[in-house]
A and B are shown apart, each in its own frame.
Chain A
Amino acid sequence: EDKVVQSPLSLVVHEGDTVTLNCSYEVTNFRSLLWYKQEKKAPTFLFMLTSSGIEKKSGRLSSILDKKELFSILNITATQTGDSAVYLCAARNTGNQFYFGTGTSLTVIP
């Protein structure tokens, strides 16, 4: 059965801390790994990763994929209260099916 598992389920940090969110996947005919941020509305796209070892970076956020060990991490440095959200990981297969994890709920305390 195809599945995506995220950890931790929730995280509470102070502003300025660095956090690492984990995503492991078991998906047949894997194509790419995507990260989304969900506040109290629709998920918004952060990154798509297709190749191992190549870091994607956007401001304080970065992500990397390991296709051998079947996982990805999302790093957020110098966290801000605006980073508080649920971070979703999704694995896409070659049939354009997207499998989502349960998400990691991040709370950043001022």
Chain B
Amino acid sequence: AQSVTQPDIHITVSEGASLELRCNYSYGATPYLFWYVQSPGQGLQLLLKYFSGDTLVQGIKGFEAEFKRSQSSFNLRKPSVHWSDAAEYFCAVVRRGGGYNKLIFGAGTRLAVHP
């Protein structure tokens, strides 16, 4: 069965530091992968997605993610974190089949940013 693992429940970084959030997936075929961000009181916002092609994907707000099939990973990175990046981040994979495309979410990683 498809699944997504985010090993880090909580991460704290200093403003200006680099960031990497880990995501591992389990899926038999080529996965469709997503990263979403959820800020307090707001809905989930799509940061970036991977369907095929270039394994390094650029997203909004300066984020990027790299798909590594050999490691079953899709880690999210940002070279310099801003205080406004503090939020909950979810990695997700599409579960295809049965005529519907359902998102399977990881448990999420809560990012705190120190000034």
Q: Do A and B associate with each other?
A: no
* Interface set of B (CB-CB < 8 Å, partner A): none
* Interface set of A (CB-CB < 8 Å, partner B): none
